[in-house]
Structure 1
Amino acid sequence: MTEQLIDVPPGLHGVVAADTAIGAVHGDEGYFHYGAYDAIELARTRSFEEVWWLIREGRLPSADELAQFRRSLAEQRRVPQGLKPLIEVVAAMDAPPLAKLRAVLSASSQVLNLAPVIDLDDDGRREQSLRLAAIVAPVLAALNRRGRGEPPVEPDPSLGHAASYLYETTGVVPTPVDARAVEQYLILTLDHGFNASTFTARVVASTGADVADAVSAALGALAGPLHGGAPSRALDALDQIGDPQRAADWVRGEVGTGRRIMGFGHAVYRASDPRSGLLREVAERLGGPLVERAVAIEAEILVTLAELKPGRPLPSNVEFYAGVVMETAGLPRDMFTPTFAVSRTAGWCAHIVEQAAAGKLIRPSSRYIGPPPTGR
């Protein structure tokens, strides 16, 4: 029997590939949520650990559950001894941070005793996904510090996940304001629908592979500049512009040569990216010359884009202020996209568990358009 093929839009836009209870994005409304909760409100009022629990469990934790979850994270975010020699080798390589992280996580299955998700029950998948996601922050920080010739900093169990990540990366205990700024960014980027990396993680999970395999594949998708590489690029643009009075001419030059304006426009949001508005508030709370210049340049870019592309809204997206927030809070620029991975790994892991429970291999068809086959 001949398989019935179904035409779908390029990039699978608008195609429902699976059911999820983790969250959803409503692009036309400029709104997204985790479970039943407005993600922006969660970022305003909750901790990263609370929201991580929510996307794992489908509800917010009680006080006792949250305390236990924080203890478990503090115990599991220490880099396993078996990975430390590999980190030394990989840190010395001339490679981007995400490639280094991918190399370490790809080799972590044995050290972390990870099993194929097809061989685990739901509790086992959840436990192993947490085991992997918990080490992403300290592994990234250790790779970064060893690459600079500095000793790794052990995680501080008294600090929250975001604050400990800042400490592990910089070697300095962050101020509560800086820690909260990074924490709010992490909450905003935990999950965001079936984006390229999340879908990649689910595809690999559907094969029954282990959590490290699925996360490593997702990291490969995240490495692409059209997905996760914009925070540092947006900040590079601010450096190129310099004086806000140069912004309009700079935009005209970029658009005239067909280059994208990083930090503006979004594949899903048609009106505004709600994450951008909150990150602007976070940036203004941090304050400083970079923030003031970013606010002024954003205004000029928005006016100029509206002039050059009437009828095509290109509002600032999450990446524009993400770089400003992270640099002001003390993170080095080459750690911006890796910081995105710190939170999104938790989101990927929730999707891996959900996809594995569905028990269905993702295996689409293709339409052959090459020369006719011979010998038939």
Structure 2
Amino acid sequence: MAVVADAGIEVPRGLKGVVVTTTELGDVRGAEGFYHYRQYSAIELARTRTFEDAWFLFVRGRLPEAEERAPFAEELARLRVLPEELRPVLRSIAMAGERFAPLAGLRTALSLVGAARNLPPLWDSTPERRRADALLVGAVTPTILAALYRIREGKEPLEPRADLSAAANWLYLVTGCDPDPVRVAAIERYLTATIDHGFNASTFTARVIASSGADLVSAVTGAIGAFSGPLHGGAPDRALAALDEIGSPDHIDPWVRARIAAGDRIMGFGHAVYRTEDPRAVLLAEIAGELAEQADARGVALADFAGAVHRRVTEILAELKPGRELHVNVEFYAGVVMELCGIPRSMFTPTFTASRVIGWCANILEQSTDPRIIRPIARYTGPQPPQPVPFA
């Protein structure tokens, strides 16, 4: 149902399909099953370049020259180190609450980092300072997330290693083991493929906050809040939990049909933009197959079962919801890949966050050059005003 603003502009619910600004960072072409970072296919970048190369692209607007790659990686490695002002309170953040909430912890930790480092409002800072703040937030986020996880597990946080790439360092910080090259390659492609994805809810949230001139950390923490929702970034573990519930191939049909009959959403299927298979899911399905080749029997069984569920759910959705074009999305195979890489389920969404923060920061930097605040209006549908205020 559309609502009509006072200016007479017809706007669909959820701003679906509404162009709200321009961007040079990338776009999603849902009908084609294609998305890109600047002028490059995001999937091709994930297959052929490093995560750091893609990061450079978002920060500098171009891919690095050969001689620029090592200095950029060294700069990021220096920024990974946990800020001293955060260390005394990290344990309190990690242990807060009955259940581990890593994104809530990250919001708290980044807020402290921003305050301690005196991050100025975007409105008052120079482009050089904004880029420096963006690199700091992007580099330190994985370190914070991994430290929160290890503390919650009763382990000591690990110091990041300058000799490792971003993807390898993430695996090391979370698992405590020297990362296997096959797993590093898998996580690197995953991270690169999930940096940015159009004007999704978290990215739009970041840009709304940035449009007010607030500091970069405020915009990032707002994006994290939006991202934590199960309808957005918080679903990779739920998609894998669905595989656990199904249990075996002979239970696929009754499980799926029961969920659809109840009106439940099948996690890992359907997308707000794509009318084809999510290209990220296609890439991750390939990666899952590669990981299965060196996995133990349990890993092979997981990859095979995920493929069987993918095929059958697609068929049942086409049968029961004809014309809806409900295909597999990134969350379905993301959980499979991370499970095969040894990442605990509580860290699935944080892994997604470790890449998406780069895209948020790039969008924040781009938005900071626009002096106009984002200020839409809502259509009032409550009791007709003005009415007399009753006496107390």
TM-score (structure 1 length as normaliser): 0.97
Q: Deviations over 1:144-186 (max 9, x none)?
A: 0001110001111100001101100111111011011111111
Distance in structure 1 (CA, Å) of the matches to 2:386 and 2:360: 44
Contact 1:112 1:131 in 2 (8 A): no
1:306 maps to 318
Q: In structure 2, what is the Cα distance between the partners aligned to 1:355 and 1:271?
A: 30
Write out aligned runs for 1:27-176 (5 A).
27-94=30-97, 95-176=100-181
In structure 2, what is the Cα distance between the partners aligned to 1:23 and 1:206? 19
Identity of aligned residues (%): 52
| Alignment correspondent of 1:189 | 194
* Shift >6 Å, 4+ stretches: none
- Counting matched residue pairs gives 375
| SS of the residue 1:24 aligns to | strand
Mapped partners of 1:110, 1:371: distance in 2 = 43
Corresponding residue of 2:349? 337
- Whichever residue aligns with residue 175 of structure 2, its letter is T
- 2:52–2:166 contact (8 Å) kept in structure 1: yes
| AA of the residue aligned to 1:235 | L
Q: 1:49, 1:70 within 8 Å by CA — same for their partners in 2?
A: yes
The whole-number CA distance in structure 2 between the counterparts of 1:142 and 1:67 is: 26
Deviations 1:346-372 (A, max 9, x none): 000000000001122111112222222
Which whole-Å deviations, capped at 9, do the CAs of 1:269-298 have from their partners, x for residues lacking one? 012211111100000000022112111221
2-structure distance, mates of 1:173, 1:17: 45
SS class of match (1:28): coil
- Post-superposition offset of 1:131: 0.9
Q: Tell me, in whole angstroms, the C-alpha distance in 2 between the residues paired with 1:177 and 1:358.
A: 42
Distance in 1 of aligned mates of 2:242 and 2:6: 49
Give me the TM-score of the superposition, normalised by structure 2: 0.93
CA distance in 2, matches of 1:237, 1:212: 34
Name the CA distance, whole Å, in 2 between partners of 1:374 and 1:290.
Answer: 62
Report if aligned partners of 1:24, 1:33 keep a CA contact under 8 Å in 2: yes
Shift of 1:3: 6.4
CA positional deviation for 1:5? 4.3
Preserved CA contact (<8 Å) 2:240 2:336: yes
In 2, Cα distance between the equivalents of 1:86 and 1:114? 19
* Deviations 1:43-87 (CA, angstroms, capped at 9, x unpaired): 110100000111122211011221111000000011111111121
Q: Does 1:218 align with 2:230?
A: no
Which SS does the other structure have where 2:62 is aligned? Answer: coil
CA distance in 2, matches of 1:225, 1:69: 34
Matched ranges for 1:244-255 at <5 A:
244-255=249-260
Conserved? CA contact 1:215–1:348, under 8 Å? yes
Task: Determine helix, strand or coil for the equivalent of 1:349.
Answer: helix
1:263 and 2:268 matched: yes
| Equivalent pair of 1:272/1:316 in contact (CA under 8 Å) | yes
Instruction: Compare 307-316 and 249-258 and name the one that shifted more.
Output: 307-316
RMSD, aligned α-carbons: 1.3
Q: Which amino acid aligns with 2:62?
A: R
Q: Identify which range, 36-45 or 303-312, moves more after superposition.
A: 303-312
In structure 1, C-alpha distance between the alignment counterparts of 2:361 and 2:75, rounded to whole Å: 16
| SS of residue matched to 2:35 | strand
Matched to 1:373, the amino acid is P
Q: What SS does structure 1 have at the residue aligned with 2:156? A: coil
